[in-house]
Structures are given as structure tokens and as C-alpha cells.
Amino acid sequence: MTTITSKPSSKTSLATLAGLLPFLAPYKRQFVLAAIALVVAASATLTIPYAFRQMIDLGFGASGIGGKNASHVDLYFLALFGVACVLAVATAARFYMVSWLGERVTADIRSAVYSHVVTQSPQFFETTQSGEVLSRLTTDTTLIQSVVGTSISMALRNVLLFVGGLVMLFITSVKLSAIILLALVAVVLPIVLFGRRVRKLSRESQDRIADASAMAGEILNAMPTVQAFTHEGIEAKRFGGSVEFAFTTAMQRIRARSLLTLVAILLVFGAIVFVLWLGAHAVIAGTMTGGALGQFILYAAIVAGAIGALSEVLGEAQRAAGATERLMELLAEKSPIVSPAIPKILPPRSAAGAAVTLRDIVFHYPSRPLAATLHNLSVEIRPGETVAIVGPSGAGKTTLFQLLLRFYDPQSGSITLDGIDIRELDLHDLRGAIGIVPQDTIIFSANAMENIRYGRADATDAEVIAAATMAAAHEFIERLPEGYQSFLGERGVRMSGGQRQRIAIARALLKNPPLLLLDEATSALDAESERLVQSALEAAMVGRTTLVIAHRLATVQRADRILVMEDGRIVESGNHASLVAQGGLYASLAALQFSQH
């Protein structure tokens, strides 16, 4: 199985992160409040060095400490405390608002991605591992939460401090500031070049984590098979190898980020130390006051700290850019199966059931474009008719059901339901008119009542129990510890295969559709349960059209018509007696099965 492929992107990190804007747009008010708090906090920070300069020059002047100078000291210490109070309140407000935004936007992204993924056709899941999707919903969104809830705020704060500090440096000393600015320009180039490398490694790291998650999800869902074949050690070793590969890739990213941080801090602080050395000589020469140098040092520290913090934020932004790119890829996936813009409406339900017509159907799965599964298949099914479909494995029987449900569209030909092409129907209307009991029964991690109610969400408890009774499931459900409120376990592990199948039949009967699809509906039942369910299904077939896929021919002898499929074609059609008399494929299958009893 392959994963979602990603095309190399020429976008910058900022352009990639722009994909988050639609999720940020609804919260303009919160952004404005956070921005106000951010500006206030940055302004308070930038005020502190000026207060120190005044305190040094006026409070510790040449006339010594005392009298008027002491009052200056008291005044500026009081002002400094006031600035600290403003800084504390503004910082707390900023933290609250940006943290709220991070949580809110992350929740919105998760919901949007999940809502989009569940509308994808089975074609999407042919080539995408569910574990990879889960990794994107969890790991990638957590990275985005970190950026929206912390990094963006930190980046804006440090940009303000950098710009404000730089302005104040020029106000303090134009000469020293010009020198430091030239040094900083020389520093930026290696940081940008390294940043690109970090972004690439960040994306690779996330891909490797997704691969490991996908592998874990696949194996955990198949634990009985893994343990039955004693592959625990093999699978643990395989997963360990995947984790180590992810670790190696992550360490490459971490080394690159560490080197980026090292280079940024050394170059920035090296430039600042050089400039401060010049400033110290200026004070000695009497061309600059001690307070001015102190102010310059503090502003230089603020600028240097802002650059150092921005390099850290850049690393986080690189990782988030990779995560955003992966999530946007998911949201960009377009399902080839969609409802028409102006769907047609199904006619009122007939008392007999639905009419189904397939004309010249040619179909191959998107993952196997060179191998046609159905070849020029045509069949007409009358309302209320029970049609059995038999044939060897791989003949295309289950594919026929998938096309009726419009999980896929045929490459050519048409399918109509009550005279309307199913491609002209709303998907919910189409699938609402069809009930299916699949060969591989899906049981959800819920109680028995909710599992059956999945067939019709608004069904009452009494209707659920009636459907369970029809499907011969009521008795075994009542014997469960908590009856219909009993938790059935993940994928129904607390039940036998036959019990799971009866739950699925009850679910389909509760839906009460005009067209019923039974894909080996009694294959996992014992003889007694099969007799009960077969009787229930025969009663349920009244007033609806039924298509039955069966390998055991004994279960379809009473069908109105039997279609025999081979290599994607209908090779025989008739009832049981006429097909046996023809001496063809059906007769061979019947002879093989019935001779074994």
C-alpha cells in the first residue's frame, strides 16, 4: 500500500503557512485583542532601558547620591515597577489569547480534515493507510497548535522588540547602530540558508513518523492474525526499524536546528560584543555618557535576544510548515464520487421495491487500471425480484455491489435506480435507498443498541429490538451482561463471527430500504442460526428488491433468478433447476458442493 504522495514544493515556509489563514480568519476579534496585548507588552519592555538610562545619568550624577538625585532614583524605580506591572498584565493577556487561538484553530483543522476524509471514495483508501491519516490528525495538528498558540505570538513579539530596539539603538547612537546593523545583515544570510535545510528535514521527519504510525495501526488491527502466526517478534522488530528510521531523520533535523541556533547566537552576539567594545571606548573618551552606554547595551541585548528567539521560532515554523503542507494535501484531495449540483429526486417508493438496470458496464479499479473487473455487463432487475449472484472468487460479484452504492463509477455504461441514473442522484438519497450486509462485518466500539441503530439514527429502542428479533440476534443480545447496553468491544471482539453478522443484518433490516444487498450474509452462521436468519431474511425480502451474493448454492435455490458470473461477465442466467439442466458453470459448482453433503 502506498501513501499520499507529496509533490516537491517551491513555496517558502511563510507561503505554506498561509494555508492556515482560512482557519484563522473567523477569529479576527481575538487576534486584535492578542495584538493589542502584544504591542503593550513589547512597548513596556522597550521602556525599561530608557528608565535605566535616566536613573543612571540623573540619579547617579557627578554630584553624588543625595537630595534631588535620591528623589530621581526613587521616581525611576517606582516607574520601573509600574512598567513591570503593565508588562505582567499584557503578557498574561497575550498568553491567554494566543493559547485560546491555538486550541481553537487546531480543533477546527482536525474537524475539517476528518470531515473531508470521511467523504472520500474508497479509491482514496485504496492508496492511503489509515494510520497515516491519523498521524496527520494528531501529530501534525499538534505542531500547528504550537505555532498558532505560541510561535506566531513569539515571532511577532520578537519582531516588535527587534524593530523597536533597533530604532532605539539609532536614537541612542547612530554610529554604533550603523556598525551593528551592517554586522546583522551579514549574519542573516547563513541563517536563511540553514533555515531551508531545516524545513526540508522537518517535512521528512513528519513523513517518517506517519509511516511508523501507519504500520502500528495496521498491525494493531490484525493482532489475532499476528499472534496466530507467531509474528510478534517480527512485527516488533519491523516497527522498531521504522521508529529508528524516524529517529535518525529527526536527529538530522535536530542537528541542523542546533547548528542554526549556534551560528545565529555566535554571529549575533559576536557582532554586538564588538560594537559594545567600541562604545566602552567612547565612554572613556567622554563622547558618550555612562547611562547612554547602559541604555545601548540593554537595547542591544533586546535586539540580540529577539534575533536568537526568532531563529528558534523559525525552526518551529519550518516544522509547522511541513505539517501544514501535509494537512493541506489531505484537504486538497478531491473525491471523484460527488453528488450532482442539482440532483434528481427518486420517485415515491414502490410497494414491491426498487427497479435496477445495469447497461454495458465496463469497470476497472483505479489502482489496477489495466485489469478490467467487469466487461460489458448488462442486467435488468424488476421491483420485488430476488436475484442471486454466484460464481468463483474474483468474478466481480462484490464489485457489482460497490458500483450500485456508487463507491466507484464505471468507466462506461450506466446504472439506474427506479429509472434514474444513479450519477444524477444525491449520494445520501441513493445510499439511503440501499441496505447492505457486507461480507466483512464492521462492529463499532459501542453497545449493541447503538451498533444496530447505526442503520437508522432516529430509530426508537423498540424498533431496534424488533430488527434484532427479525435477525435472530435478540436472544444472544439479551444474554449479554448488560443486554442491549453491553459494550461489544473494538471491532466486536467480544462476539463470535455469527453474532457479528446477525448484528449487521439487524442494522440493514432497521434501515428498511427498497433495495437490499446481501454479500454472503449467512456465511459465518452455524446451521441453526442460518436457518433462523434465512427465515428472517425471506420475510424481510417481501416488499423490496434483493440481490444476494452467495458461494453456498443451497442458500439461493429459492431465488427468482440466479446470475452466474465469471471473469467479470454474466455467463448464465436462470433459476436453480434450469441452470443445473444447462450443464454449465453453475451445474459444475452445484455438483461440486452438493456432492460433498
Q: What is the CATH number of the domain that holds 161?
A: 1.20.1560.10
Query: Are the CB atoms for 24 and 329 separated by under 8 Å?
Result: no
Q: Pick from 221-235, 396-410, 572-586 the range whose average pLDDT is largest.
A: 396-410
**467-522, pLDDT tens digit by residue?**
898 888 888 889 888 888 888 877 677 777 778 888 888 888 888 899 999 888 77
Query: Are the CB atoms for 169 and 300 separated by under 8 Å?
Result: yes
For 51, 132, 169, 278, the CA distances from 173, given in Å and listed in that order, are 17, 55, 6, 11
Distance CA 155, CA 147 (A): 9
Lookup: cell for 31 = 487576534
- DSSP, collapsed to helix, strand or coil, labels residue 230 as coil
Q: Are residues 183 and 227 in the same domain?
A: yes
Q: Domain range for residue 166?
A: 18-332
Residue 547: strand pairing partners: 387, 517
Q: Tell me: pLDDT of 596 over 70.
A: no
Mean pLDDT of 568-577: 88
Q: Are residues 456 and 583 in the same domain?
A: no
Q: Are residues 262 and 368 in the same domain?
A: no
Least confident of 240-244, 320-324, 520-524, 539-543: 520-524
Q: Are residues 410 and 459 in the same domain?
A: no
| pTM for this model (two decimals) | 0.67
Question: Residue 72: what pLDDT?
Answer: 64
- DSSP, collapsed to helix, strand or coil, labels residue 132 as helix
Sign of CA dihedral 522, 528, 531, 537: negative
Q: Is residue 8 part of a domain?
A: no
The residue with greater pLDDT, 583 or 70, is 583
Residue 515: strand pairing partners: 434, 545
Residue 362: strand pairing partners: 412
Residue 186 CB: number of other CB atoms within 10 A? 11
Beta-carbon contacts of 377 under 8 Å, excluding residues fewer than 6 positions away, are 358, 360, 361, 362, 396, 400, 413, 568, 569, 570
Q: Are residues 72 and 111 in the same domain?
A: yes
Q: Are residues 215 and 129 in the same domain?
A: yes
Q: Are residues 368 and 308 in the same domain?
A: no
What does the radius of gyration of the chain's CA atoms come to, in whole angstroms? Answer: 35
What letter does residue 117 receive in the DSSP assignment? Answer: H
Q: Is residue 532 part of a domain?
A: no
Q: Where residue 281 falls among pLDDT bands split at 50, 70, 90?
A: confident
Q: Is residue 477 part of a domain?
A: yes
Q: How many domains does the chain have?
A: 3
Q: Are residues 124 and 267 in the same domain?
A: yes
Domain end position, chosen among 280, 301, 332 = 332
For 172, 346, 412, the CA distances from 430, given in Å and listed in that order, are 75, 8, 20
**289-347, pLDDT tens digit by residue?**
778 878 888 888 788 778 777 777 776 777 777 778 778 888 888 888 888 999 999 88
- DSSP, collapsed to helix, strand or coil, labels residue 568 as coil
What's the CATH code of the domain at 497? 3.40.50.300
Q: Where residue 587 falls among pLDDT bands split at 50, 70, 90?
A: confident
Beta-carbon contacts of 258 under 8 Å, excluding residues fewer than 6 positions away, are none
- DSSP, collapsed to helix, strand or coil, labels residue 457 as coil
Q: Is residue 531 part of a domain?
A: no
- Give the strands of the sheet with 420-421, arranged side by side: 374-381, 356-363, 412-417, 420-421
In total, the chain counts a number of residues equal to 597
Q: Where residue 377 falls among pLDDT bands split at 50, 70, 90?
A: very high
Q: Is residue 534 part of a domain?
A: no
Q: Is residue 339 part of a domain?
A: no
Q: Tell me: pLDDT of 6 over 50.
A: no
Q: Tell me: pLDDT of 256 over 60.
A: yes
Give the containing element (helix H, strand E) for 566: strand 561-566
Q: Where residue 417 falls among pLDDT bands split at 50, 70, 90?
A: very high
What letter does residue 488 receive in the DSSP assignment? Answer: -
Closest CA to 134 of 217, 247, 237: 217
Q: Are residues 159 and 297 in the same domain?
A: yes
Residue 548: strand pairing partners: 388, 518
Q: Is residue 277 part of a domain?
A: yes
Q: Are residues 403 and 483 in the same domain?
A: no
Q: Write out the E strands in 244-373.
A: 356-363
Domain end position, chosen among 468, 491, 512 = 512
Question: Residue 25: what pLDDT?
Answer: 85
Q: Are residues 111 and 200 in the same domain?
A: yes
Q: Is residue 2 part of a domain?
A: no
Q: Are residues 466 and 356 in the same domain?
A: no
Q: How many CA atoms lie within 13 A of 124 on its CB side?
A: 19
Question: Residue 196: what pLDDT?
Answer: 67
Percentage of residues in the chain having pLDDT higher than 70: 87
Query: Are the CB atoms for 414 and 350 separated by under 8 Å?
Result: no
Q: What is the secondary structure of 4-52 as a DSSP string?
A: ---------HHHHHGGGHHHHGGGHHHHHHHHHHHHHHHHHHHHHHHHH
Domain end position, chosen among 277, 300, 332 = 332
